[in-house]
Amino acid sequence: MPSVAHPPLKPISNNPHSPLYIGLMSGTSMDGVDGVLVDFSSSFPQVVRHAHLPFNEALKKTLIKLNYSGETPHELEIATTTAIELSHLYAQCVNQLKDPQVTIRAIGCHGQTIRHQPDKGFTIQLVNGALLAELTGIDTLCDFRARDIAAGGQGAPLVPRVHQAWFSTDHCHRVIVNLGGIANITNLDPHASVIGFDCGPANILLDEWIRHCKGVAYDKNGAWGRLGQVNNALLNALLTHPFLAIPPPKSTGREAFNLNWLLSFNLVHKLTPEDVQATLTEFTTLCVARAIQPLRGNLPLEVVLCGGGALNQLLVERLAANLPNVTLTSTDQLGIPVDQVEATAFAWFAMAFDQRIPGNLVSVTGAKHPVVLGTLYPA
Ligand SMILES: Nc1ncnc2c1ncn2[C@@H]1O[C@H](COP(=O)(O)OP(=O)(O)O)[C@@H](O)[C@H]1O
Ligand SMILES: [Mg+2]
C-alpha cells in the first residue's frame, strides 16, 4: 500500500465555500494512515486523491502497548508525545493531498484510538489537533466521538451515518461490512432503522499471527493462510469467545481479540503456523457470517465489503462460502474504493461540523439525541 505521487489537480474551486475536505483515518489495524481529498459538491462524494502513509514498526509497537493500561512507563507523557509524532505523519499525508490551486475547507482527523470506554464516559484518540492545524494551515476537526458519549451514546460506530447516506437503497437490503482491524457491520434494511455494531475480529488476529510467526505486517491476499488446512477443534474453541454470544449493539477491540488470547489455546502450539492462519481466516469469516444471518428479512440481501480485509482474497472467498444466497460485492462497485471509505467518512464528518449537521445516528450509538460531532482547531 505505498503512497503514490499525484499529478497536479485541476483547479476546482478557489472560494471560501469550496466543497473540498480532507479525511484522515487510522484504525485498529495500526497499519498507517489513509487520507483522502473529497469533493462534496454533488450528493455522492468524489474522492479526488488518496494517500496512505504506513506507521513504522516502533510507532506501531508503542501504539499497541498504549492500548493496555499500565504497560508503558510514563504512559501520560508517552501518549502525548506519540500524539505529536502521529500529527507530523498526518500532516505529511495532508501535504500529499493538498494543492496550492484549491482551497480546502477543513480536515476531519479521526486520530488513533488507544482506549474506548464509553461506559466510563471516555474515549481516547491520539492526535494533537492544534499542531495539525499549525502544520497544515487548514482548519482541523478532531475528537468526533466524545460529544456522542457525552449525550449518553457509545461514541461508536459513527460510520453507519454515512453508509446510510451513500449506500442505502429502497430495492434491496444492504449490509455494509467494514473489514478493518475489527469487523463492523451497518444494517441498511429499508424496512427498519439503521443499526451498526462490531461483530468480531477482521484483520487483527490474521495480522498478529503472521507478524508473530514471520515478522511481516499482513498476509497479502491470504496467500499464506491458503497453504494451511482449517482445524475444526481450534475453530470451535475460538468460536466460544464470549463476545460472539452477546446480542448487538456491541463493540470490541484489541482488549478482547489479541495474540495473547490466541496463544492461550494449546492447539495453536501444536498445529503448523499455516493451519493456524487458515483456521483464523475461517474463524473471522464465521464471526461476520453469523452476525449477518439473523439480520435477514424478506428482501434479497447484498453484502458490501470495505476496509483492507476486502483485499484479502482468501477472506473474501471464505466469506462468500459462509454466506450462501447472498450477493457479495464491495464499495469499489458502489463508487468508493474499499480502502478509502473510512477516511471519506471523516471528510464528511468535517463537512457536517462546518454545517452544524448532527453526525451521530442515535439508533446506532444509543445517544439521547443527535449532536454535532468534533472539536475545531482553527488554522
Ligand atoms: N492485499 C491485502 N491482502 C490481505 N490483507 C490486506 C491487504 N491489504 C490490506 N490488508 C489488510 O487490511 C489491514 C488494514 O485495513 P484497514 O481498513 O486500514 O484497517 P483499520 O481501519 O483497522 O486501519 C491491514 O493491516 C491488512 O491486514
Ligand atoms: Mg488502516
What CATH number is associated with residue 246? 3.30.420.40
pLDDT at 226: 98
Are 37 and 48 within 8 A, CB to CB? yes
Transcribe 286-332 into DSSP letters.
Answer: HHHHHHHGGG--SS-EEEEEESGGGG-HHHHHHHHHHSTT-EEEEHH
User: How many of the other CB atoms lie within 10 Å of CB of 232?
Assistant: 10
> Ligand 1 centre and the CA of 24: distance in Å?
16
One-character DSSP codes across 168-236: --SSSEEEEEEESSEEEEEEE-TTS--EEEEEEESSHHHHHHHHHHH--SS-GGGTTGGGS---HHHHH
- Residues 78, 65: one domain? yes
Parent domain of 43: 20-157+339-377
Q: What is the DSSP letter of 102?
A: S
Please report, for residues 41, 130, 198, 215, 301, the alpha-carbon distance to residue 249 in angstroms, rounded to integers and kept in the order given: 34, 34, 8, 35, 20
Q: Does any domain span residue 207? A: yes
Residue 38, SS3 per DSSP: strand
pLDDT of residue 17: 58
* Torsion angle of the four alpha carbons 303, 308, 310, 314, in this order, in degrees rounded to the nearest 10: -140
Contact 218 CB / ligand 1 (< 6 Å): yes
Shared domain for 371 and 305, answered yes or no, is: no
15 within some domain: no
User: Following CA atoms 162, 116, 112, 156 in sequence, which dihedral angle do they give, to the nearest 10 degrees?
Assistant: 0
Task: For ligand 1, atom 15, name the residue with the nearest CA.
Answer: 308
Work out how many domains the chain is built from and give that number: 2
pLDDT at residue 251, rounded to an integer: 87
CA distance 26 to 108: 12
For residues 256 and 181, give the distance between their C-alpha atoms in angstroms, rounded to a whole number.
Answer: 12
Write the CA distances from 277 to 197, 218, 240, integer angstroms.
25, 11, 18
Please, are residues 263 and 312 in contact by the beta-carbon 8 Å criterion?
no
Return the exposure string of 282-308: e unless at least 16 CB atoms fall within 10 Å of the residue's CB, then b: bbbbbbbbebbeebeeeeebbbbbbbb
Q: Could you report how far apart the first and last alpha carbons of the chain are, in Å? A: 30
* Cβ of 139 below 6 Å from ligand 1: no
Residue 6, domain member (yes or no):
no
- Residue 261: inside a domain: yes
Whose atoms come closest to the Cα of 29: which ligand? 1
Q: Indicate if 85 and 140 belong to the same structural domain.
A: yes
Is 35's C-beta closer than 6 angstroms to any atom of ligand 1? no
Q: Is the shortest distance between the CB of 342 and ligand 1 below 6 Å?
A: yes
Of ligand 1's atoms, which has the minimum distance to the CA of residue 204? 27
- Do 253 and 303 lie in one domain? The reply is yes
Domain co-membership, 80 together with 25? yes
Shortest-distance atom of ligand 1 to CA 32: 23
Q: Which candidate, 33, 28, 26, 25, places its Cα nearest to that of 257?
A: 28
Pair 182, 94 in one domain:
no
Q: Which ligand 1 atom is nearest residue 181's CA?
A: 22
Per-residue pLDDT, 338? 98
309 within ligand 1 shell (Cβ under 6 A): yes
Low-confidence ranges of the chain (pLDDT < 50): 1-3
CA–CA separation, 323 and 298 (whole Å)? 16
Residue 238 maps to a domain: yes
Q: If you measure from the C-alpha of residue 28 to the centroid of ligand 1, how many angstroms do you get, rounded to a whole number?
A: 10
Any domain includes 14: no
Q: Are 234 and 357 in the same domain?
A: no
Specify whether 297 is located in the same domain as 182.
yes
pLDDT at 1: 43
Q: Does 208 share its domain with 142?
A: no
The answer to whether residue 9 sits within a structural domain is no
Q: For residue 224, how far is its CA from the centre of ligand 2 (angstroms)?
A: 21
CA of 285 to the centre of ligand 1 (A): 15
Grid cell, residue 244, equals 460472539
Answer yes or no: is 7 within a domain. Answer: no
Same domain, 153 and 164: no
> 41-69 burial, b for 16+ CB within 10 Å, e for fewer?
eeeebbbbbbbbbbbeeebbebbbbbbee
Residue 202 Cα to ligand 1 middle (Å)? 9
Give the Å distance between the CA of 26 and the centre of ligand 2. Answer: 5
pLDDT for the residue numbered 227: 98
3-state secondary structure of 30: coil
Q: Are 97 and 51 in contact (CB under 8 A)?
A: yes
What's the gap in Å between 141 CA and the centre of ligand 1? 25
Query: Do 148 and 281 fall into the same domain?
Result: no
Asked if residue 268 and residue 362 are part of one domain, the reply reads no
Q: pLDDT tens digits, residue range 231-251?
A: 999 999 999 999 999 999 888
Residue of 33, 218, 254, 341 to mutate, ligand 1, most atoms within 8 A of C-beta: 218
Q: What contacts 317, CB < 8 A, 6 or more positions away?
A: 222
